[in-house]
Amino acid sequence: MGSGKGATSSSQQMDTSIEDLRERHQQELEHLTLTTQPFKTLRLFILAIFQYFKRSVLYLLAKGGWLMLLSTLIAAFGILLVTIEGPHEKHVEEVSRYVRFGLWWTALGVASSIGLGSGLHTFVLYLGPHIALFTIKAMQCGRVDLKSAPYDTIQLKRGPSWLDKSCGEFGPPLYGSWVPLSSILRQVQMEAILWGIGTALGELPPYFISRAARVSGSKIDAMEELDASSIEDNGFIATHLKQIKRWLLSHSQHLNFFTILVLASVPNPLFDLAGIMCGQFGIPFWKFFLATLFGKAIIKTHIQTVFIISVCNNQLLDWIENELIWVLSLIPGFDSFLPTLTAKLHAVKEKYLTAPRPVPSNSKEIVNATAQRYLKKEQDKQLAETLSASTHSD
């Protein structure tokens, strides 16, 4: 009897200790910023970058030595062109601007999808606002040739040049009261596709880790990990997401190019399982990557881009306003309030269509998020060790 009470008391103490540990971990994550803890944040950021770089180099050396050699030769040739003076300098500068443009949007895509869903929401922070601002400016000016070059977009520490210009500087409107959606889409299509390519690249680490575990003979039991995580979070949304993930795991034998393409083509929080399952069940790399690349870089990005353009379209706002006024006019007693309501709607629309100056992207956000992800992984290891110790003690 006494031993039973002692075991119960020990179990309660262990649960309390684990709960305290989770609470302390959460507080550490919230306070880990360059403002509050600059040295610790920079240290963890450097460790995370070093760890990612080390894994990439080891994989390239093991699987693609020729790729490393080719990359080194290209880098050496680029450094040579930059250091030597001559008439080619202006062309080198133009190429470097395109390279920075491509690397910027691709890196944002990688940051968005890497880390099994814990990455930065760079579509909401960067690509979405960029598309919205360009659409609003194009609607105001009646033309879409606003960029000085394809790379004239939001980038690190600077905004686009077209945002500060008045419509008169671009010339008279080329369109009437309606700017075709396809014309706007072509102007923001390149950065959207580059961002989509980055999101596809960010899905590769889970695939390689899972495939390496399969080759080494160790099996990743995702179902057991999913059951263990369900103990920690029993919320309504989390419970249903875990049910969907469990269904995907139980139907993993149906994974093929079309299935991966569908999963990658729609915004969903479940695609982190696709890479793990494909690596675990031996799906060829090119089948997984090409389906992911086409789904994310072509289909998904165009769905999101068209949606943002449609929402920021002035004609769409006018249609919503007219439909709302028509519905309210059918309600008895609302006729006297319609003029006031119309004036307020116009004020709200004008405020919305006034394109605000975007805040240049701050590298602090990237440093903070990277350091916090690294700390979260270390905390998960510590929590797993604590849970394992408590299980063995029982």
Cβ within 8 Å of residue 186, ≥6 positions away: 144
CB 71 within 8 A of CB 62: no
Nearest CA-CA partner of 151 in 196, 211, 106 = 106
Tokens of 96: 């470097």
**Closest residue by Cα to residue 275 from 213, 195, 209, 374:** 209
Q: What is the mean pLDDT of the chain?
A: 74
- pLDDT at residue 231, as a whole number: 42
Write down the H helix ranges in 217-268.
Answer: 222-232, 236-250, 257-265
Say which range, 55-59, 188-192, 244-248, 272-276, has the weakest mean pLDDT.
244-248
| pLDDT given at position 69 | 66
CB 188 within 8 A of CB 130: yes
Please give the C-alpha separations between residue 200 and each of 49, 60, 185, in angstroms, as whole numbers. Answer: 20, 18, 21
Asked if 295 and 263 count as a contact pair (C-beta separation under 8 A), the reply is yes
Whether the pLDDT of residue 376 is over 80: the answer is no
Q: CA-CA distances (angstroms) from residue 119 to 203, 315, 392? A: 11, 35, 34
Question: Considering all CA atoms of the chain, what is the largest pairwise distance in Å, rounded to the nearest integer?
Answer: 91
> Which of 182, 148, 179 minimizes the C-alpha distance to 165?
148
Residue type, 349: K
Residue 275, pLDDT > 70, answer yes
Helix (H) or strand (E) holding 269: none
- pLDDT tens, residue by residue, 123-137: 888 898 899 889 988
Q: Compute the average pLDDT of residues 304-328.
A: 75
61 or 49, greater pLDDT:
49
Model confidence over 171-207: pLDDT tens digits? 888 887 678 888 999 999 999 999 999 999 988 887 8
Q: Is the pLDDT of residue 220 over 50?
A: no
pLDDT digits (tens, 9 = 90+) for 241-270: 555 555 555 555 567 888 888 888 877 666
What are the structural domain ranges in the chain?
119-312
* pTM of the full structure: 0.63
Q: Residue 245 has what pLDDT?
A: 55
Tell me the C-alpha distance between 301 and 260, whole Å: 16
Please tell me the least confidently modeled range out of 9-18, 27-36, 150-159, 309-318.
9-18
155-172: buried (b, 16+ CB within 10 Å) or exposed (e) per residue? beeebbebbeeeeeebee
Return the higher-pLDDT residue of 305 and 366.
Answer: 305
The pLDDT, as a whole number, for residue 8 is 62
β-pair partners for 361:
156
**Per-residue pLDDT at 115:** 56
- Write out pLDDT tens, residues 88-122: 777 778 888 898 899 999 999 988 887 545 555 78
Place of tokens 């923001």: 188
Whether residue 151 has pLDDT greater than 60: yes
More confident residue, 249 or 365: 365
Residues 6+ apart with CB under 8 A from 144: 138, 174, 179, 183, 184, 186, 187
356: DSSP letter: P
pLDDT band (50, 70, 90) for residue 365:
low
Check residue 228 and give its pLDDT. 46
Residue 75 in this model has a pLDDT that exceeds 70: yes
How high is the pLDDT of residue 315? 63
Please report where in the chains the tokens 């500060």 appear, as a residue: 164
| Token pair for 56 | 């990439």
Q: CA 32 to CA 373: how far, in whole Å?
A: 10
